[in-house]
Amino acid sequence: EVQFVESGGGLVQPGGSLRLSCAASGFTFSNHAMHWVRRVPGKGPMWVSRIYGEGSSGNYADSVKGRFTISRDNAWNTLYLQMNSLRAEDTAVYYCTRDLDYVFDYWGQGTLVTVSS
Amino acid sequence: QSALTQPRSVSGSPGQSVIISCTGTSSDVGGYNYVSWYQNHPGKAPKLMIYDVTKRPSGVPDRFSGSKSGNTASLTISGLQAEDEAEYFCCSYAASYSWVFGGGTELTVL
């Protein structure tokens, strides 16, 4: 069974940093690109970032480019999102999702990030 | 405001059919056959229901179907059941390795 467990969320001050983790199981992790998607309660989801299976490069939404970095450790089946220079508008639940040719076929339950002073 | 427009809510009685629309532009929904739909129950992980506009993952009942016309995609749920009550949101690929989502539609089974 494909499963994801996100962790690392919490309360952080504006300008601060957080690193999210997503532990994957139930499939060959290195065979799949992975994404981070976030959702502000009451609003639609927003795609944040994608990384290829081998971890060679990532793509980012314009609103996070230059502040967030996606990475992965295929030996540990774990996806990461390093978030720097956090802003109030980054407050959201962050989900890791698996890529299936331009589709998000499995999602985690998310981890809440709150940026507030 | 989300990039794709969905109705806030729809409702139907058990056994009836409902259609949820998802309107975008020629740069996303209208430009690619990569529209997907997700079912979201509170406190649970979103579940893929339809992908590539019309395809159903294994295990999704054939009561769920998808279609697209121009810049609008639709999710049809036939033979409504109580367990279908949930939020549904759409997603489309939007070029240059980016994706856009709808705001979500709450389905109430009366």
Look at residue B45 and give its three-state secondary structure. coil
Q: Give pLDDT tens digits for B78-100.
A: 999 999 999 999 999 998 889 99
pLDDT band at B2 (very low <50, low <70, confident <90, very high): low
Residues 6+ positions from A35 with CB-CB distance below 8 Å: A47, A48, A49, A50, A51, A96, A97, A98, A99, A104, B99
Nearest C-alpha in B relative to A104:
B48
Return the residue in B8, B50, B97 with the most chain A beta carbons within 10 A, the one to mutate for interface testing.
B97
Residues 6+ positions from B34 with CB-CB distance below 8 Å: A102, A103, B51, B52, B53, B92, B93
Structure confidence at residue B101 (pLDDT): 96
> Between chains, do A104 and B52 touch, taking CB under 8 Å as contact?
no
State how far the Cα of A109 lies from the Cα of A94, in Å rounded to an integer: 9
- Tokens, residue A51: 């990384």
Q: Give pLDDT tens digits for A11-25.
A: 999 999 999 999 999
Structure confidence at residue B1 (pLDDT): 61
pLDDT, averaged across chain A: 95
> Between chains, do A4 and B45 touch, taking CB under 8 Å as contact?
yes
Q: Give pLDDT tens digits for A65-82.
A: 999 999 999 999 999 999
Please tell me the total number of residues recorded for chain B in this structure. 110
